[in-house]
Amino acid sequence: MSSPAADVVRLLTVKGATLAVAESLTGGLVAAQITSVPGASRVFLGSVTAYATGLKHRLLGVDAALLDARGAVDAQVAAQMAAGVRKALGADWGIATTGVAGPDPQDGQPVGTVFVAVDGPWGTAGDSAPGGKVEALRLNGDRAEIRMESVRSVLGLLLKELAGEQTGNERAQDTERNGGF
């Protein structure tokens, strides 16, 4: 049976594309899921676990004023984390997780508030370019359940983007084969 991480590795391998991961609340769980897949080294470049808010700015280039104004649990922060890790590691795709796993609220956000983001070769998740994606989640459960659902969600979001890109490319190839329109 296939897993989301195995599907990500397979699709990236087929595309000849690479991936970098920025994690906060998941603390390395996304990278662990990906690297558990045989052949992941062909596509996975690495990850940055920026658990401390200041590291999101220093290592991933998240805007310091944004962090000061909104805190680390924010859609725009997630988008900038994904774009920042993609740039820092030189990957085709970047994904990111930030949120509150509990037991206490953070930055005025309740436990279970999570943002996951994907940044790809079509532009950044934080700008108006087509394709960038951030999802806001409201998750239930204990700390471990929230963290694992965050992993599943960010991998699922990346899979949707990779599948969408593939569908678009297939349509373009089909149009070429059929002589235009």
Instruction: Give this prediction's pTM.
Output: 0.87
162, 12 contact by CB (below 8 A): yes
| Residue located via tokens 């108006």 | 128
Residue 34 near residue 40 (C-beta atoms within 8 A): yes
Quick: pLDDT tens for 66-89. 999 999 999 999 999 999 999 999
The residues pairing with 106 across neighbouring beta strands, listed in sequence order, are 109
Position 34 in a domain: yes
pLDDT of 164: 82
* CA atoms of 89 and 87, how far apart (whole Å): 6
Banded pLDDT at 2 (limits 50, 70, 90): confident
**Structural domain includes residue 181:** no
Number of domains, the chain: 1
Is residue 180 in some structural domain?
no
Please report whether residue 179 resides in a domain: no
Sequence-distant contacts of 63-69: CB under 8 A, at least 24 apart: none
Distances (CA, A) of 41 to 26, 45, 46, 107, 163: 21, 7, 9, 36, 21
Spatial contact of 158 and 8, defined as CB atoms under 8 Å apart = yes
* Predicted confidence (pLDDT) per residue in 108-150, tens digit: 999 999 999 999 997 445 443 444 699 999 999 999 999 999 9
- Whether residue 67 contacts residue 40, with contact meaning beta carbons closer than 8 Å, is answered with no
CA angle, 126 then 75 then 44, to 5°: 70
Q: What angle do CA 79, 25, 105 make, to 5 degrees?
A: 100
Amino acid in the structure at residue 153: S
- Domain encompassing residue 162: 4-174
Tell me the DSSP string of 40-73: GGGTEEEEEE--SHHHHHHHH---HHHHHHH-SS
For residue 103, the domain's CATH number is: 3.90.950.20
d(CA 46, CA 36): 13
Q: What is the DSSP string of 87-118?
A: HHHT-SEEEEEEE--SSS-BTTB-TTEEEEEE
Over residues 92-100, the mean pLDDT reads 98
